[in-house]
């Protein structure tokens, strides 16, 4: 189980490029989602206000329509009702007949209830007539007849409830307007069904939801396009950077090979030009000494002494080449003595006036920094010897608050003339810069016709604690 979890975690672990893509796309997706939700909520709220206003207008129009119908009915029966007594049954019958004849539209009619709840007029729903409907309510529990009678007793008003449509028998929402004939204790009213109003409202809501969905789709499409653009851009950048990295790696590999071949060639030349020639001279001297010993020549001892001297010279050359490849003093005594030895030997060999200055480091340098600074000094002195034409060289190494700094100054012809001599030289300078770059340090070259200054600095991260604060032992850098 643990192995499976570890395998799953490895599969789910994101690469650096995937983290960059996620970091770039996640805020975009979150922002698009937030915008979509905000736009949807705002659109729905605005649409609801508009729909509510539309519904109120349509219902107001319906109410006005009902008032007009009641006004027409009053006009038809006012002369009869106004001249009749409360118990005039003939007048009541005549008014009932007038109201029963006043039908309109597909479902419109006038109804009459007495204050006891008995239906007197319902031309489109005759099954209601002569029956007492006191206490009748609609399917939602809203009182119908009692509420209509109550409103009529108060003079008149509107009431909304669920009622079956005469044409289809289906229940629908209805709004009625009722007035009271107080002398006869009648509630006279008419109503209209709100199907068209509710249909208009439902259509408006559906249109609003459709607009919101379209907005969502547009935002999603834009967000997807942006994500794809980011992905494509990142993929393009990745491919481009990978190609550049491959090219740089290829160049670096070739540079390493060239450097190795150059170093091998230098060592081969050193061995051929110095060690080989010295050893050949030693061999001839020893053969001469052997022949002289065989002949009893007293000069045999002189030849043997010369051979020994030449052999000592060969040993010295081997030590010099070994020191150039890897100076033992750097490991044994530290950077300061190694640089001093390098500068002194450079002065003796070239005859160039040299000056070395160092300050005891507060902390010691680690091994990588020591080697890098030593190789930079070695490469710089080699360039000065071969190309600069300088008569004076000053080398300074010290520590500061930012780390350790190495500074090499000469009074030669400057870098432009040096590069002209080297052709496309620059390899040594690139090697110096790359050594410091590997240590996260800084490398500067300042050159003019009167000389060149090379400055290399390694950061504090390559300074080891003092011997009293660390278990590591050794000498000062």
Residue 13 has pLDDT above 80, yes or no: no
* 325-362 pLDDT per residue, tens: 666 666 667 778 888 888 888 888 888 888 888 875 54
Q: Which CATH architecture has domain 87-193?
A: 2-Layer Sandwich (3.30)
C-alpha–C-alpha distance, residues 203 and 197, integer Å:
10
Q: Where are the alpha helices (DSSP H) in 84-190?
A: 89-101, 145-153
CATH 3.30.565.10 positions along the chain are 334-469
* % of the chain residues with pLDDT over 70: 84
Residue 235 has pLDDT above 90, yes or no: no
Compute the mean pLDDT over every residue in the chain, rounded to the nearest whole number. Answer: 80
Per-residue b or e along 444-475, where b marks 16 or more CB atoms closer than 10 Å to that residue's CB:
eeebeeebbebbbbbeeebbbeeeeeeeeeee
CA atoms within 13 A on the CB side of 18: 5
**Helix 277-295 / helix 300-325 crossing angle, nearest 10 deg:** 160
Report CA 300 to chain centroid distance, whole Å: 86
* 26-83 pLDDT per residue, tens: 777 777 778 877 777 877 787 778 778 877 888 888 889 899 999 999 999 999 988 8
Tell me which residue of 421, 409, 431, 298 sits closest to 354, measured CA to CA. 409
Q: Which CATH architecture has domain 334-469?
A: 2-Layer Sandwich (3.30)
Q: Which segment, 41-45, 71-75, 222-226, 315-319, is predicted with the most confidence on average?
A: 71-75
Residue 476 has pLDDT above 70, yes or no: no
Tokens 């990745």 map to which residue? 238
* 400-444 pLDDT per residue, tens: 777 788 899 888 887 765 554 444 445 677 778 888 888 888 888
Q: Where are the alpha helices (DSSP H) in 271-299?
A: 277-295
pLDDT recorded at residue 49: 82
Decide which of 174 and 464 is more confident: 174
Residue 93 has pLDDT above 90, yes or no: yes
Q: What Å distances lie between residue 114 and 92, 157, 165, 447, CA to CA?
A: 11, 16, 22, 118
pLDDT class of 194 with cuts at 50, 70, 90: confident
Decide which of 206 and 316 is more confident: 206
């Amino acid at each position: 189980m643990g192995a499976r979890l570890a395998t799953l975690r490895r599969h789910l672990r994101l690469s650096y490029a995937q983290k960059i893509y996620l970091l770039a796309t996640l805020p975009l997706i979150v922002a698009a989602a937030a915008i979509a939700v905000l736009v949807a909520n705002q659109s729905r709220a605005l649409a609801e206000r508009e729909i509510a206003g539309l519904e109120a207008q349509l219902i107001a129009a319906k109410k006005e329509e009902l008032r007009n119908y009641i006004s027409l009915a009053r006009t038809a029966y006012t002369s009869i009702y106004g001249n009749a007594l409360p118990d005039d049954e003939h007048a009541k019958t005549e008014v009932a007949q007038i109201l029963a004849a006043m039908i309109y539209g597909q479902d419109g009619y006038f109804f009459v209830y007495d204050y006891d709840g008995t239906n007197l007029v319902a031309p489109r729903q005759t099954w209601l007539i002569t029956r007492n409907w006191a206490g009748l309510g609609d399917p939602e529990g809203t009182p119908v007849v009692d509420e209509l009678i109550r409103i009529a007793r108060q003079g008149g008003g509107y009431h909304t409830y669920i009622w079956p449509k005469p044409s289809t028998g289906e229940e629908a929402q209805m709004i009625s307007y009722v007035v009271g004939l107080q002398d006869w204790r009648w509630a006279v009213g008419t109503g209209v069904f709100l199907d068209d109003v509710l249909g208009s409202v439902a259509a408006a809501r559906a249109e609003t939801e459709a607009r919101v969905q379209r907005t969502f789709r547009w935002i999603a499409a834009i967000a997807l396009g942006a994500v794809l653009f980011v992905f494509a851009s990142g993929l393009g950048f990745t491919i481009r950077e990978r190609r550049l990295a491959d090219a740089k790696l290829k160049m670096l590999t070739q540079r390493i090979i060239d450097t190795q071949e150059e170093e091998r060639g230098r060592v081969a030349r050193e061995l051929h030009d110095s060690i080989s020639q010295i050893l050949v001279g030693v061999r001839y001297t020893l053969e001469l000494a052997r022949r002289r010993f065989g002949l009893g020549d007293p000069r045999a001892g002189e030849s043997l002494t010369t051979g020994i001297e030449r052999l000592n010279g060969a040993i010295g050359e081997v030590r010099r080449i070994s020191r150039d490849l890897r100076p033992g003093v750097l490991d044994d005594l530290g950077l300061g003595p190694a640089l001093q030895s390098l500068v002194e030997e450079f002065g003796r060999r070239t005859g160039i006036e040299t000056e070395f200055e160092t300050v005891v480091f507060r902390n010691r340098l680690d091994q990588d920094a020591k080697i890098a600074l030593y190789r930079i000094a070695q490469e710089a002195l080699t360039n000065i010897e071969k190309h600069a034409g300088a008569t004076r060289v000053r080398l300074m190494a010290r520590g500061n608050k930012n780390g350790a700094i190495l500074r090499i100054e000469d009074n030669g012809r400057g870098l432009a003339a040096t590069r002209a001599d080297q052709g496309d030289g620059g390899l040594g300078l690139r090697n110096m810069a790359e050594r410091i770059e590997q240590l996260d340090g800084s490398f500067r070259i300042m050159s003019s016709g009167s000389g060149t200054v090379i400055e290399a600095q390694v950061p504090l991260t390559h300074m080891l604690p003092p011997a009293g604060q660390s278990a590591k032992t050794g000498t000062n850098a």
